[in-house]
Amino acid sequence: MYSPLLFFIVLYGIFLTSSYAGWSNLNSTPRKTIQYEDNHVITFKEDGIWNYSTMLIMEDLGLLVLGAREAVYALGMNDISVAKSKVLWKVTEEKQKECTSKGKHPDIDCRNYVQLLHQMNDSVMYVCGTNAFSPTCDYITYSDGQLKLEGKQEDGRGKCPFDPFQRSSSVMVDQDLYSATSLNFLGSEPVLLRTSPVTLRTVFKSSWLNEPRFVYMDVVPESEDSPEGDDDKVYMFFSENAVEYDFYNKLVVSRVARVCKGDMGGLRTLQRKWTSFLKARLDCSVPEPSLPYVIQDVFHVRHKKWRKSVFYAIFTSQSSSTDQSSAVCAFNATDISEVFSRGKFKTEVSVEMSDVKWVTYNGELPVPRPGACINNAARTMGIERSLDLPDKTLQFIRDRPLMDDAVRPITGKPLLLKRGPLLTRLVVDLVTASDGQSYPVMFAGTENGYVQKAVNYDGEMHVIEEIKLLQNTEPIDVLRLHQNQLYAGSASGIVQMPVSNCSRYSSCLDCVLARDPYCAWDATAQRCSRSPEDAKGNLIQSLKEGDATRCPTTATVEPKIHSLVLGNNIRLLCRVDSNLAQVNWNFAGKPLPYSNRKYTIYSDGILISNASAADAGRYTCTSVERAKGRQYTQTLAVYDLREQLPVDVTDKIKTTLGILPESYTTSSGLHKTEEPPSYATNQSSENKWIVIQVALAVISVMMACLLIWNLYMGHISPFMCCGRQPIKSPRNLPEREYMHTGNDVVDSKQQMVRLCVTTNSNVEATSFHRNTVNGDTSTDIHIFKYITDESEI
C-alpha cells in the first residue's frame, strides 16, 4: 500500500518537471562577493548586551530605536555607531528565581528580551518583553534627547511570547495592537489577538491554528476606493502543521490569514472571537520534487493603490537533506483578496477507517458570505456590524476557516532560488533607474551573516552582489530599510550600510554589466555614479539587456616585467571584477594548457611550478563575461617573464674568498654599504646543489694550483716515489745562474699565474703582467723569494 505522502510528492514532481525549462535562470550566482574587510560598514554593539533583534524607525525624530536583551537604545539614523540614549529594563531577582524554579536557564531564558516596539504617537512607544517567561509591556518616552521607561507595566500575555526564541508578529493599527503569539507558558495555546476596547481572539481549535509559527503581520487599506464599501484587512503570514493532508508524519505548510479591521465578534456564536478569520495556503513551488517550502519572512511593498501592493516572502526547504535551499516568491495583494472573497472552502467529513478528511465544500453558502467583512450588500440586509451576523454564517466560519484554493505567486514560480546557507530576512526597495522605470531590488539576509542584493528583470534573476555584513558567522535576525540605508541586527550587534556603493565598479564595463539600478556610468565624469537620475553627464546604463557596447575602449594594459628564477614557483596575479566572468590565460599568444600539472589555477591568478627557461615569455590574463548573448572580453593583466639566474655565482665565489666585487668598491678603496641583490627565498634543492658543486670546483682548482706551485718550487718532486734525485730548484742555484734562467722562470710563472688567476686579486695579477712585459722581473723575484721563504711557511 502506497503512502499518500509519496503520491503527493510524485504528482508534485510531474507537474514541476513539465515546466522545468524556465527554472534554470532563477538559481543565480552573485556577480560580486564583498568581504567584511572590504565593506566599510557602521556598527553598534555594547559589551554585555545581546540579541539586537527589534527595530523601530521614528522618521520624524531621525531615530532608530533598537530593542535588545534588557536594554533599549536610541540611535541616530545617519550614524548608529554612538547611542544617543539608553534605558535598561532588567528582570527583578524575584522573577528570575521564579523562572529558574520552572526549569529555565537563569542566564539565557530568565532575562527580559524586548520583542515588540510600536510607536503610539510622536514621542511615545509601546514596548513588550519576555520578562523571564512572564511577558510584560510598558511605555517608553523620548524627550530632550533621553529615553525614559514610564513604569506603567501591563500584562503582556497574548502580545509578547513567553519564550524569547519563539517567533511572533504584531502590528499597531489606529492605536489597536494586533498580535500573534502564545497565551501560555508552554507555548501550546496560539492566538491571534486584538487588544482594543473590544478585544478579540481566535478560537483554540486545530482547524484555526495548528502549532503555528508566526512570521509577519500588516494592514491593507482595502476600504479605499472600494465600490463594495469593503473594510480594511489585517493580513497574517505563518506556517503550521497541515490539517488537510492525511499523512503519517506532520507536514508543515505556509499560510496567509486575514481578519477585518471592524470585526466586533458575534452576538451569541463566536462571542469575543473573530467572525472574519479565514486562512489559505501559500504556494511557492520549486523545480525539484520536494515537500512544500516553509515561509520564513515577509516584506510588504506598499503602493498608493493597494491593489498594486506586493508581498515578498522567503521560503526554505523543510527536508532534512544537507542540500538546503531557499526561494523568494512575490504575491499580489489583489490575488490574496480574491481567494478569500470568491474562493471555495474546505470542510471536514468523516470517512471510514479514518478520523476525518478535508475536502472541497460544494454546498450552498450562507448569506452573507462567511468570513466577509461588513460591506454595502450586508448593509442593505440591515447588517451594520458583525454582531448582527446570523448564527448560520457564524457557525459555518467557526467550523470551516480554511480556503480550498491556494494563493499562487505573481510569476507562477519563485523570483529567486538559492542553494547553500538559508535566507532569513528580506527587505525590498523600489528604485527608479535612469530609464524612468521602477525596479524592486531585494536585500536578503542569510544565516551566515551575508546579504544578497538581487533584482528580477522580466523573469531573469540577477544577483548583483553578496556582502559580508557581520564579522561573525551568525544569522541576520532583523532587516530594516530607510532612505537608502540598510540596517541589519543579529545576536551580537547591529550594522548600517548604504544600499549601494557605486565606487566598487572601477570601469564602464564593470559598472554596466553590474546591472545595478542604483548605478550608471557617467561618461563625462568617468566614474560610476551613485545617483544616475541626478547626474548631468552622459549616462550609460542597461539593466535588462546588460548592453555595454556604448562603453569606450579601454586603454592597453602595460606589461609588467617579472623575474623568472630557475626552479622557483612563480605566482602571477589577476583579479577578476566578476564571479560570472571566465578567466583565460595566454602564453606566447596561445591558450595556456590548463591540463598541464605545471600550472595551478587560482581565483586571483596562476602558479607556475618549478619554472624553467622554457617558461619565459609573455603571459596575458583576460576575462570573458556574457550578458544576454553578448560577450565582453577585457584584458586584466600582462606579464613579461624574463629569465634570471638563481644565484650570481661569481659574486658568491668572491664573497666566499673574502674578495668584494668591483661594484662594491669605491675609488677611495672604501666598501659600499649597499645590500646585495635579493633573490627568491623559495629556491629548490637543485639550485643549492649547483652552488655546492661550483664551490667544490673552485677548491679543486686552488689545490691544483698549490700542487703545481710546490712542484715548480721543488718542494715536491715527482720522482720521489721512484727513488730519483730531485731537480734543483732555482732557490738552490747561485744567484748568477738564477738570474740567467730568469726568463724561463718568468715564463713559467706567467703561465702559472694565468692558470690560477681566480685565486689572486685583480690588482696583483695586473701588476705581475705589467712587470714581465717590460722585462723588469725584480719585483716578481722579490715576490717569489718572499713566498718561498721556508721560515714564513
Higher pLDDT pick, 532 / 639: 639
CA-to-CA separations, 637 to 276, 583, 585, 643, in angstroms, rounded? 66, 11, 10, 19
- In DSSP terms, 431 is beta-bridged to 439
In CATH, which superfamily holds the domain spanning 560-644?
Immunoglobulins (2.60.40.10)
Q: What distances in angstroms separate CA 108 from CA 44, 71, 305, 674, one per listed residue?
A: 22, 15, 45, 64
Residue 651 backbone dihedrals phi, psi, to 5 degrees: -65, -35
Q: pLDDT tens digit string along 511-521?
A: 999 999 999 99
Instruction: Name the packing angle between helices 685-713 and 742-755 (round to 10°).
Output: 170
Beta strands in 282-407 (DSSP E): 294-301, 310-316, 325-332, 346-351, 354-360
Pairwise CA distance, residues 763 & 496, whole Å? 73
For residue 343, the Cα-to-chain-centroid distance in whole angstroms is 42
Confidence of residue 737 (pLDDT cuts 50, 70, 90): very low
Cα distances (angstroms) measured from residue 88 to each of 51, 107, 215, 716 = 14, 16, 27, 101
Please list the residues that pair with 640 across neighbouring strands.
561, 618
All three cell numbers of 770, joined, read 705589467
Q: What are phi and psi of 83, to 5 degrees?
A: -75, 130
pLDDT confidence of residue 9: 39
793, pLDDT greater than 50: no
pLDDT in tens, 699-736: 888 888 888 877 777 766 655 544 444 444 434 434 43
Domain 496-540 top-level CATH class = alpha beta
Q: Which three cell numbers stand for residue 431?
A: 528604485
Count of residues for the chain? Answer: 793
Average pLDDT, stretch 14-27?
46
Question: Phi/psi zone of residue 762: left (φ > 0), alpha (ψ -120 to 50 degrees), beta?
Answer: alpha
For residue 468, give the H/E element and its range: strand 460-468
C-beta of residue 426 within 8 angstroms of C-beta of residue 298? yes
Side-chain-side CA neighbours of 768 within 13 Å: the count stands at: 22
d(CA 124, CA 527): 45
Which grid coordinates belong to 463?
544577483
Enumerate residues 6+ apart whose C-beta is below 8 A from 692.
none
The torsion angles phi and psi of 388, rounded to 5 degrees, stand at: -90, 0
Residue position matching grid coordinates 529615553:
147
The pTM score is 0.79
pLDDT tens digits, 112-132: 999 999 999 989 999 999 999
- Name the amino acid, one letter, at 222: E
Residue 422 has pLDDT above 50, yes or no: yes
pLDDT one-digit tens code per residue, 135-179: 999 999 999 999 999 999 999 999 999 999 999 999 999 999 999
Please give the full DSSP string across 705-728, using - where no structure is assigned: HHHHHHHHHTSS-TTGGGTPPPPP
C-alpha pair distances (Å), 669 with each of 481, 655, 664, 665, 759: 74, 17, 10, 6, 20
Q: What is the mean pLDDT of residues 262-281?
A: 97
**Would you call 98 helix, strand, or coil by DSSP?**
helix
Residue-by-residue DSSP string for 475-534: ---EEEEETTEEEEE-SS-EEEEES--GGG--SHHHHHHHT-TT-EEETTTTEEES-TTT
Of 324, 148, 329, 154, the C-alpha closest to 256 is: 329
Cell numbers given for 393: 454564517
Q: Read off the pLDDT of residues 195-239 as tens digits, 9 standing for 90 and up.
A: 999 999 999 999 999 999 999 999 999 999 999 999 999 999 999
- Segment 54-66 shows an average pLDDT of 96
What is the spatial distance between Cα 328 and Cα 37, in angstroms, rounded to a whole number?
28
CATH architecture of 200-420: 7 Propeller (2.130)
Q: Would you say residue 658 has pLDDT above 60?
A: no
Contact 281, 407 (CB under 8 A): yes
Q: Is the Cα torsion angle 425, 468, 80, 432 positive or negative in sign?
A: negative
- SS3 of 12, please? helix
